[in-house]
Structure 1
């Protein structure tokens, strides 16, 4: 550690280990070699969006020593950017004193996440963790919640491996939707034009027609050292998918955060609009999902704990119990897998999206698809691509570990996922929030205040949605009554 870095916030509170200091030293060399003049310090908020500040190169050294401040009120806003809690009251109305008065939080960079942004000249990027000024972690930090769940899993002798299939829509931008006469958010959506016709899954010529987008994304994502495996044409109009190779749980969530931001920024700079909204207008034939592949690694042996040693069995006993936990707590975990009002419009029968809480052996209509063999894993197909990656991953760990602890049985697999006599996934965000409040496993792990916080933010989002007069209401009632 350079003498100039000693005695700062990071060292005083023991927030970095040897590997972090080594990564910070390497970061300094990269900045010198590549002439980086600006560095974005970002954290992932409760909705999965990146927030933060851009620092000059000279200011970065102080941030690596003492962190960088940001207002705590960022954690108390809904998706419109409006504060849901009375931030200028004791405890900010949530009972956490460190959040009162929109006071500062400390963003501490994770040096191992440093990237050079290929689309922004002379600009680097760092992902940050959130701390209070006294050095304690912020309990509402979603990255910390994920780390906490993974640490608990480690206490049982397992590590999580996650693979990602992330679907999204890309359009040609006609107008960005900004209206100077109507400032504020959310504003009018961008005006867009179609990119692909849809209805032809994995059609090579249709993919070739958007080859400029494919190369744009490939070059940008690989330059960020993201583990890209494929860029594919999906079934719906304007719909693409990127798959990422398996990584440890927290690293996989970090990769999704960076991947989504990169796709949106790369597209915007080149005349396209990319959205991870699950079911935008015009996506009637195929909504976008996030299929989360997961398996456990035995910490002692390094072996896949889901691989069965019983002939003919697709999963080990550990895998079956973990699966049973995913099913038992699926309704409550839906809030974290599908956290928007729009995402529940994806749960349609015979659509390659699930609508029931069932599992199947290599069955892509089931909520959880079990895949055997050397790469034995479980694929949860219920998530939407807008989900906060840390909360989605953490919800799987909490649910699956509960199944292991309680030795649950998932029952037999289904062969008729859309006709099975099984509980349905929540039909709306409102139903999912009710299920989360009833479920007993999340509050003991996340903290009761965390569950209440997330429910409160999402109920505010739902309330604004229900108060809006929709185009459907206007068509249905305006001429009839």
Structure 2
């Protein structure tokens, strides 16, 4: 990919005092940006050539950054040492919403130069290499929904995330009137992402109160995953600067959830190979669901008539199916807004390659309502998805035993935390009446 900011342009900007900070970021298991704010001159003089260290616990903690057991690569027993953040200068770009700031994403390697295989970016790179071995390249676009609140993140926290004020009080799907209410925020996000080198296509309202979506031009899969993560992090930061909050929870309340539909194409495939690639998606959908729906909350989306899929089915331009096939590409409708794009795209490539290698035959498309079709159901809980992923031969062949064990443990950590929690639902039902 071409960078939005070349190294020479950065050198000039630093020498002229227009940039003094470079964010060096890795993407963690949740797809979040983690890293350091570096003095720009230090980045140019030292880090470009030699990288920078970071504690390897960044790929071995839970969502709240608690150290947890069960990871082979990082633990108290191993001393929580470092891995190296190696700048990918192709991702260098300005960060317009922060003063005098640029950003660069990093690949992760150990001190001996070996890749950190459980890193989401390295997992996707490995699948890209598998495609390249067959003379193939994949392109993707992600459609990421979110809900905007008029409350700040601090106010939301202090109120226990209850009684928040959505930016719209009714369904504004495609509404120009309704979306005008939040244009000061959404418009700023669009403009700042354009200035950061992302190619914005559109924004639109969605169904739930305060729910919106901003879409970007498709590109090579690694570029798409990178820009997805940069945008998601940046949108939260811009919302905070505007005194608002954005959530990417898959299911914030009992109404419509927030999805992340992913479009994928492999242009070199002929019609027969494309059908096998789609057949692979269906064959592997349930065993790779963990990489599409990584959290307990993810599974609350999968409800009949919700535009989130429940059936392992494909159809031509049919939004009731998990796989919606369009001309020359397909859309996977399973992931929610909480998805890690690197892992989801890796799973889609792995499933497609399985379909090619096994020469799978594509079943007939579903005509009509897939919610009532006689098809297998996608997993309905994180535990069910965890069990299928742990037993998956396709996952082991594609990602390796170390990666499978790493993300099975991540699911175990989340399940243990959830099962130990006492929820508001339990208090309401049980405080007086039980």
Q: Does 1:46 align with 2:29?
A: yes
Conserved in 1, the CA contact under 8 Å of 2:74 and 2:80? no
Mapped partners of 1:109, 1:128: distance in 2: 4
Shift of 1:99: 9.2
TM-score (norm 2): 0.94
Does structure 1 residue 113 correspond to structure 2 residue 91? yes
Q: Which residue does the alignment assign to 1:342?
A: 297
Secondary structure of the 2:404 match is: helix
Q: In the alignment, what sits opposite 2:272? A: 317
CA-to-aligned-CA distance 1:64-119 (integer Å, 9 cap, x gap): 11111111111111112112227xxxxxx516799921111111111111111111
In 2, distance between residues paired with 1:120 and 1:95?
34
TM-score normalized with structure 1 length: 0.85
Q: Structure 2: where are the runs of 5+ without partners?
A: none
Structure 1 residue aligned with 2:167: 195
- Structural mapping, 1:295-374, within 5 Å: 295-298=265-268, 305=269, 316-372=271-327
- Specify whether residues 338 and 34 from structure 1 end up closer, same or farther in structure 2 by C-alpha distance, changes over 3 A only: farther
Q: From the superposition, tell whether residues 174 and 249 of structure 1 become closer, same or farther in structure 2 (CA, over 3 Å).
A: closer
1:13 matched to which residue of 2?
Answer: none
1:237-279 per-position Cα deviation (integer Å, ceiling 9, x unaligned): 1100111111011111111011101111111111110111111
Post-superposition shift, 1:160? Answer: 0.2
Identify the residue that residue 332 of structure 2 maps to in structure 1.
380
Q: Give 1:478's match in structure 2, choosing from 424, 431, 434.
A: 431
**How far apart, CA to CA, are the structure 1 residues paired with 2:161 and 2:28?**
22
Name 1:127's counterpart in structure 2: 105
Distance in 1 of aligned mates of 2:185 and 2:213: 12
CA distance in 1, matches of 2:15, 2:304: 55
In the alignment, does 2:124 pair up with 1:146? yes
For residues 52-451 of structure 1, the aligned pairs below 5 Å read 52-60=35-43, 61-85=45-69, 94=72, 100-174=78-152, 176-177=154-155, 188-189=160-161, 192-281=164-253, 284-298=254-268, 305=269, 316-372=271-327, 376-415=328-367, 416-451=369-404
Query: Is the 1:175–1:192 contact (alpha carbons within 8 Å) kept by the matching residues of 2?
Result: no
Q: Does the CA contact (< 8 Å) of 1:176 and 1:190 recur in 2?
A: no
Root-mean-square deviation over aligned CA pairs: 2.3
Distance 1:46 1:190 in 2: 27
Per-residue CA distance 1:298-324 (angstroms, 9 max, x = gap): 2xxxxxx35xxxxxxxxx111111111
Q: Which residue of 2 aligns with 1:183?
A: none
CA distance in 2, matches of 1:78, 1:359: 34
How many aligned residue pairs are there? 431
Cα deviation, 1:110-160, whole Å, max 9, x if unaligned, reads 111111111111111110111111221111111011011011011112100
How far, CA to CA, are the matches of 1:110 and 1:190 in structure 2? 41
**Cα drift, residue 294 of structure 1:** 0.5
Label 1:206 to 1:459 Cα distance change in 2 as closer, same or farther (>3 A).
same
C-alpha contact (below 8 Å) 1:84/1:457 kept by paired residues? no
Shift in alpha-carbon separation, 1:167–1:179, aligned structure 2, 3 A:
closer
Q: CA deviation at 1:188?
A: 4.6
Cα 1:118–1:419 change in 2 (3 A) is: same
Give the superposition deviation at 1:292: 0.4
CA contact (8 A) 1:69 1:107 kept: yes
Q: Could you tell me how far apart the structure 2 residues matched to 1:159 and 1:324 are?
A: 18
3-state SS of the aligned residue for 2:385?
helix
The 8 Å contact of residues 164 and 290 in structure 1, kept in 2 or not, is answered as yes
Aligned-pair CA distance for 1:34 = 5.8
Contact between 2:74 and 2:81, CA under 8 Å: does it hold in 1?
A: no
**SS at structure 2 position matched to 1:364:** coil
Q: Which structure has the bigger radius of gyration?
A: 1
> Are residues 417 and 129 of structure 1, via their aligned partners in 2, closer, same or farther at CA, if it must alter by over 3 Å?
same
- Give the 3 Å change call, closer, same or farther, for CA 351–451 of structure 1 in structure 2: same
